[in-house]
Amino acid sequence: MRPRWTAILILATATALAPPLRAAERVTLRNGFVQVCDHHAQVDGRVRLYLSSGEDNYIEFAPEEIAAVEWTADPPDPPAVSPKTQPSTKPAASRLSAADLHEMLAAAGNAHNLDVDLLASVVKAESNGNVQAVSHAGAQGLMQLMPQTAMELGVQDSFQPDQNVRGGSAYLDALLTRYHDNLALALAAYNAGPAAVDRYHGVPPYRETRVYVARVIHEFNRRVLAREAQAKRAVAISAAQPESTNR
């Protein structure tokens, strides 16, 4: 898979799930995007933009990617209440097993060159694996597709998990392409819509969107670290096995 998101790493702990504090700085990137953050600092030759007053929740860039940093006023409050998942009026379908969901996500990831753990992290944040999930805003299914978006993606039934995952993965892939593989911006657009990201030239100052972006990347990081740890354990176990001898 092509290397994505090497310029962005949010090491979010449980604090990322709490409401972010008001931002205090406006950072303009050389690509034209703007990121609002609480404060910034240089660490190990990189620039960290902290999304809250603590040190655990940040986005990291190379110094040459930063064009300007300025103080900014408090952002406006989010325009709407965060949508919450509620039961669908459609007949309940059988809940997917972890193996079936992984198989669907792996197929979609291969089709769109997306890490399966990233897709799993989006599904967890969007629906927690509930194929019949419906938000108050009307988003449907595993990856919470709005009806208009689903129609544009060729998804005929958002409650069919394979269709929903294919459509959601295609949409995320398109957003990553649109925002030059900037994962934070793509996730913000997935949550709040591309128009909001374009309007603010960065992650919109919506409480819901900021929490969503941090939550997904936190889960993605957790899964990747667990995967790497498992791989290291497998190598260690293999190395510890006695070599077979021919007699």
Residues marked as catalytic? 126
DSSP letter at 140 equals B
> Which residues, in sequence order, are CB contacts of 149 under 8 Å at separation 6+?
167, 171
Q: How long a stretch of residues is the chain?
A: 247
**Residue corresponding to tokens 């667990």:** 226
Distances (CA, A) of 178 to 39, 49, 66, 124: 27, 22, 20, 24
The β-bridge partners of 29 are 66
Taking the C-alpha atoms of residue 187 and residue 174, their distance in angstroms, rounded to an integer, is: 11
Distances (CA, A) of 47 to 2, 41, 43, 44, 66: 24, 6, 6, 8, 8
Per the structure block, which two tokens stand in for 45? 């030759």
**Residue corresponding to tokens 């890490």:** 115
Per the structure block, which two tokens stand in for 205? 């100052």
